[in-house]
Every structure is written in structure tokens, then in C-alpha cells.
């Protein structure tokens, strides 16, 4: 009996040691990709390419082969970027880039001091006041909607369309927000949209000073990265995660630790396991660029696959998996009852994730292009602990990884049993 107890304790100790080493590797990857050296893994300073090269080096070190002759799938895309140091001054105060304000990423460049016109609901619902607005010359004016407009979804929608129409095109719109979220876009509007932290705006403010220089790049060269682990059959399970993030906005660097350095770390850790323990199905690893730019990396891949789609049995996507203090969603699981049942059974038996919630169709990340092409596709996403989504404050030290190991072990168990 004593030997049995000692043996069981030793197995537990070895398991704990292995998990500890695994999480050390995971955190090292997240810290590396979130560092300023990668410029937010966006489209300024070639941050996306620097991150792609890092991933390729990781695959090479693990002796994971590329699909074909190269780890890279290069392709062009248009992208709007901002260069130099943007400046926005309100009421004599220069706002902090990325923290107090950002430009919505489809905004053109703009420079100068401009009047600020506040718009309330009476100005839109009173025929006399609305006619007066329509007769105004607002071509060089920024507008801001007060809460009487923004609280009414239909009125707000009407107003935004009105003031950005050819008939009444304003210089720009300022959105009052609790925290300014950034993004990426592949086109440029005729007008600016600024997201400004609400405490900087009040109806007494009647002008702004701005210096925003954009650079719209045609045919920017970016790349997906992929590797392949041979199983017992050429049919594969594709594990995917996007590695890109939002780059820089002036001095603000969007580190993207949770979104989605964590997903990259998950793929690399799964790659390490399946390289050592090849499963029945082959494993394709795809690290997508341009997810933040309307999922363009995966759109391009599905239209130009480097491995036959007809040999892809299932896709599993990982995005923002270092959070999850509230729950974990397995998106699209409701679309595939047998797959859903297997995940729930394994999760219950292993007690991996306390709050696992299967959901239906969502076109919210790279998985959906595969689903729309007829390939079953799932998406692990976590809720709770991701307050700094699309902000410069999404940094490694804020991550708690509450369900990371649970997701990892659940996916390992699933793939090892999946047929």
C-alpha cells in the first residue's frame, strides 16, 4: 500500500512539474510577442512580419515541417495606418494617444483647428431646427452627439448616416466613449471618426485642434504562417489562431497579450505535444495575419489553401484564451451535436473547465470562413478578465490564465479520441 501511495504521489508530482514547465513556456511566448520589439504586431514598422518570423523560428526549433516549401503564405492587402505622433488637443489639454483617444482606423488624415458642433435630439426631431442644420455648412466642422441622441439607437443611427451623407458631409464625428478601443481597417472614409474618453468632452467645448497623418498602403505584403504534423492519415485537424494585433498609434503600442499572443502560445504548446505524440489525424497549425482587419488572413487562406480543404476534417480556433474568470465559450459547438457531446463528456470527466458554454454560429473570428466553406469549425473564447480588449493596457502582467491549461488538456483529449 505504501508503494502504491508513493507511486501515485510521484505521478502527481511529475504531472504538476510538467504543467508548471508548460505554463512557463506559454508565458514566455506571450511576453515575447507582447514586447515593444514587435510594434504591436501590426502594419507599422512591419510588426506583423517580425511576429511571423518569430513563429516560424519556433516551428523550426520544434522540427515541425512547413506545408510545402515554406512556412509563409505571402499575399497583398490594402491597409490604413497612422504615422508620426498624432496630436489631439481639447480645451487646452493635449490628450494621451491610445489612452484618452484614438482615431477610428478608417479615418483619413486631418490637420487644423476645427469648430465642434454638439447635436442633441431636439435638433434632429424638430423640423425647424433640422432644416436649419441641413442648410448649414458643416464641411469643416466636427460634430458630437450628446446623450439624448446616443441613448436612442435608431436616432443615433439616423444622425450618423445624415451627417456623413454626400449632402451633409462633416469633417468628422467625435464619439464619447468610456474607453477608446482601436482596430484596423482596409479602406478609408471621407470623414474622420475620433473616439474620445468621455471625461474630456462637455457641451461647453466648441473647438478641437488635431494633427493626424494617415498612410494608406496599397498591396501591403503580409503573411500567414503554417506548419504540419503528420498523423496516421493525411486528413487533418487544423488548429488556428491569429497572431496579428493593432500595431501602434503614435507612442501607444498595442501589445495584444491576451488578444492574441495567448492563442499563439496555445497553438505552439499543442504543437509541442502532438509532435511528440502524433494523433490519428494529421495536425495543421495555421497562424493568421489580418484577423483584426476584418478576418482577411483567413479569408485569403480559404480562397487559396496551402493544404487541400477537402482533407481538413475540423478546425479549432483559439482567441483570447488567457482570460476566462467568468466562463469559456465553445462557439459553433451547437452546430455539431456529436462534437459538442464529445467535448462536454470529456470536460465533465476531466473537470477541466468549470463554466464551458457551447454556442451557435458567430462570424466573430477566423473560424467562420472555414464553416462557410463547409468545414466544421469551432472557436474557444473566454469571458471575464479581458477588460483591456483593443487597448494598450492588454499586457502580459495582467493575465491570470484561469482556464488555459483546462482548454489545452480538453483539446488534447478530444483530438486523441476524435474519429
Q: Tell me, what CATH number does 189's domain have? A: 3.50.30.30
Question: Which secondary structure element, helix H or strand E, spans residue 18, and what is its range?
Answer: helix 2-33
Same domain, 254 and 153: no
**Residue-level pLDDT at 168:** 86
Q: What are the cell numbers at 60? A: 523550426
Same domain, 330 and 386: yes
Which pLDDT score, from 0 to 100, does residue 11 have? 43
Least confident stretch, 3-12, 108-117, 350-359: 3-12
Position 9 confidence tier, pLDDT thresholds 50, 70, 90: low
Can you give the C-alpha Rg of the chain in angstroms?
A: 24
Domain boundary among 155, 182, 217: 217
**Domain presence at residue 205:** yes
Which of 197, 217, 237 is the last residue in one of the domains?
217
Let me know if residue 238 belongs to a domain.
yes
Return the pLDDT at 16: 46
- pLDDT for res 20: 72
Can you tell me the mean pLDDT for 141-160?
A: 95
Q: Compute the average pLDDT of residues 88-94.
A: 96
| pLDDT surpasses 80 at 8 | no
174 and 234: one domain?
no
- According to DSSP, residue 418 is labeled -
- At 21, the pLDDT band (50, 70, 90 cuts) reads confident
**Does 73 lie in the same domain as 110?**
no
Chain Cα centroid distance, residue 13: 36
DSSP assignment, residue 50?
Answer: H
For residue 12, pLDDT over 50 is answered with: no
254 alpha carbon, distance to own chain's centre:
11
pLDDT at 18: 62
Q: Are residues 268 and 319 in the same domain?
A: yes
Query: How many Å apart are CA 256 and CA 41, to the nearest integer?
Result: 8
Note the pLDDT of residue 368: 97
Q: Which helix (H) or strand (E) holds 87?
A: strand 72-90
Is 41:256 a contact under the CB 8 Å cutoff?
Answer: yes
Best CA proximity match to 389, nearest among 292, 310, 317? 292
How much of the chain exceeds pLDDT 70, in percent?
Answer: 95
Query: What is the residue whose three cell numbers read 492588454?
Result: 394
- The reply to whether 247 and 335 lie within a common domain is yes
C-alpha cell at 26: 506559454
Report, as an integer, the average pLDDT of 259-274: 98
List the CATH number of the domain containing 364.
3.40.630.10
Whether 258 shows a pLDDT value over 50: the answer reads yes
How far apart, in whole angstroms, are the C-alpha atoms of residue 104 and residue 20?
Answer: 41
Q: What is the pTM of this model?
A: 0.94
Task: Locate all alpha helices (DSSP H) within 164-311, ordered by sequence.
Answer: 262-276, 296-303
Say which residues have a Cβ less than 8 Å from residue 258's Cβ, sequence separation at least 6: 320, 321, 322, 323, 385, 386, 388, 389, 394, 398, 399
Distance of CA 34 to the CA centre of its chain: 13
Q: Say if 329 falls within a structural domain.
A: yes
DSSP assignment letter at 108: P
- Does any domain span residue 167? yes
Please check whether residues 261 and 367 belong to one and the same domain: yes
Please tell me the total count of domains within the chain.
2
The pLDDT of residue 276 is 97
Query: How confident is the model over 98-111, as a mean pLDDT?
Result: 98
Unique residue bearing C-alpha cell 487541400: 308
Q: Residue 331 corresponds to which cell in the numbers above?
A: 462557439
Among residues 201, 217, 233, the one where a domain terminates is: 217
Let me know whether 63 and 189 are in one domain. no
pLDDT surpasses 90 at 403:
yes
- Shortest CA distance to 51 belongs to which of 267, 217, 367? 267
Interval 387-403 mean pLDDT:
97
How far CA 283 is from CA of 84, 268, 307, in Å, comes to 42, 12, 11
pLDDT confidence tier of residue 1, bands split at 50, 70 and 90: low
Same domain, 212 and 347: no
Indicate whether 143 and 52 sit together in one domain: no
Q: Nearest to residue 237, comparing CAs of 195, 292, 279?
A: 279
Position 361 in a domain:
yes
Q: Is residue 170 part of a domain?
A: yes
Task: Kindly state whether residue 5 falls inside one of the protein's structural domains.
Answer: no
The span from the CA of 144 to the CA of 201, in Å, is: 9
Instruction: Using the predicted structure, report yes or no on whether residue 180 has a pLDDT greater than 60.
Output: yes
All cell numbers assigned to 362: 458567430
Q: What is the chain's mean pLDDT, rounded?
A: 95
**Domain match, 223 and 213 both:** no
Three cell numbers, residue 328: 469559456
pLDDT given at position 326: 97
- Rounded to whole angstroms, the Cα distance separating 133 from 147 reads 19
Find the domain containing 271 and state its range: 27-77+218-417
More confident residue, 263 or 136: 263
Residues with Cβ within 8 Å of 114's Cβ and at least 6 positions away in sequence, in order, are 140, 141, 142, 171, 172, 207, 208, 209, 210
For the segment 296-349, what is each residue's pLDDT rounded down to a tens digit? Answer: 999 999 999 999 999 999 999 999 999 999 999 999 999 999 999 999 999 999
| Dist CA 71 CA 388 (whole Å) | 32
SS3 per-residue string spanning 163-207: HCCHHHCCCEEEEEECCCCCCCCCCCCCCEEEEEEHHHCCCCCCE
Cα-based distances in Å from 2 to 7, 8, 11, 15, 133 = 9, 10, 14, 20, 87
Give yes or no for residue 166 having a pLDDT over 60: yes
Residues 357 and 380: their CA atoms lie apart, in Å, by 10
Query: Are residue 292 and residue 207 in the same domain, yes or no?
Result: no
Task: Specify if 2 maps to a domain.
Answer: no
Amino acid at each position: 500500500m505504501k508503494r502504491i501511495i508513493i507511486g501515485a504521489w510521484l505521478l502527481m508530482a511529475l504531472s504538476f512539474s510538467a504543467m508548471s514547465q508548460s505554463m512557463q513556456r506559454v508565458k514566455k511566448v506571450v511576453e515575447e510577442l507582447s514586447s515593444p520589439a514587435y510594434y504591436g504586431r501590426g502594419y507599422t514598422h512591419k510588426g506583423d512580419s517580425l511576429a511571423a518570423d518569430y513563429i516560424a523560428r519556433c516551428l523550426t526549433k520544434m522540427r515541425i515541417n512547413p506545408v510545402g516549401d515554406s512556412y509563409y503564405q505571402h499575399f497583398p492587402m490594402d491597409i490604413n495606418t497612422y504615422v508620426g505622433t498624432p496630436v489631439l488637443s481639447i480645451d487646452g489639454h493635449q490628450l494621451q494617444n491610445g489612452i484618452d483617444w484614438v482615431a477610428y482606423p478608417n479615418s483619413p488624415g486631418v490637420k487644423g483647428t476645427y469648430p465642434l458642433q454638439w447635436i442633441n435630439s431636439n435638433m434632429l426631431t424638430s423640423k425647424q431646427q433640422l432644416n436649419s442644420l441641413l442648410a448649414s455648412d458643416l464641411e469643416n466642422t466636427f460634430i458630437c452627439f450628446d446623450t439624448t441622441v446616443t441613448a436612442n439607437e435608431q436616432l443615433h443611427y439616423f444622425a450618423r448616416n445624415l451627417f456623413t451623407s454626400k449632402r451633409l458631409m462633416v469633417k468628422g464625428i467625435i464619439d464619447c466613449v468610456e474607453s477608446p478601443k482601436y482596430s484596423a481597417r482596409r479602406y478609408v472614409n471621407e470623414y474622420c471618426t475620433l473616439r474620445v474618453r468621455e471625461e474630456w468632452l462637455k457641451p461647453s467645448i466648441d473647438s478641437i485642434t488635431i494633427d493626424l497623418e494617415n498612410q494608406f498602403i496599397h498591396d501591403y505584403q503580409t503573411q500567414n504562417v503554417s506548419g504540419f504534423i503528420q498523423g496516421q492519415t493525411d486528413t487533418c485537424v487544423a488548429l488556428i489562431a491569429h497572431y496579428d494585433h493593432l500595431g501602434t498609434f503614435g507612442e501607444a503600442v498595442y501589445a495584444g497579450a491576451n488578444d492574441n499572443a495567448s492563442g499563439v502560445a496555445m497553438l505552439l504548446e499543442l504543437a509541442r505535444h502532438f509532435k511528440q505524440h502524433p494523433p490519428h489525424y494529421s495536425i495543421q497549425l495555421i497562424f493568421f495575419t489580418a484577423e483584426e482587419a476584418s478576418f482577411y488572413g483567413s479569408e485569403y487562406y480559404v480562397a487559396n489553401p496551402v493544404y487541400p480543404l477537402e482533407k481538413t476534417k475540423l478546425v479549432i480556433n483559439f482567441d483570447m484564451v488567457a482570460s476566462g474568470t467568468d466562463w469559456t465559450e465553445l462557439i459553433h459547438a451547437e452546430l455539431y451535436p456529436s462534437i459538442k457531446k464529445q467535448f462536454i463528456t470529456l470536460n465533465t470527466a476531466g473537470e477541466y473547465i468549470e463554466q464551458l458554454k457551447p454556442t451557435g454560429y458567430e462570424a466573430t473570428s477566423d473560424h467562420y470562413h472555414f464553416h462557410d466553406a463547409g468545414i466544421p469549425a469551432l472557436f474557444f473564447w473566454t469571458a471575464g478578465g479581458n477588460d483591456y480588449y483593443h487597448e494598450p493596457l492588454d499586457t502580459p502582467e495582467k493575465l491570470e490564465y484561469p482556464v488555459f491549461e483546462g482548454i489545452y488538456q480538453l483539446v488534447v483529449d478530444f483530438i486523441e479520441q476524435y474519429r
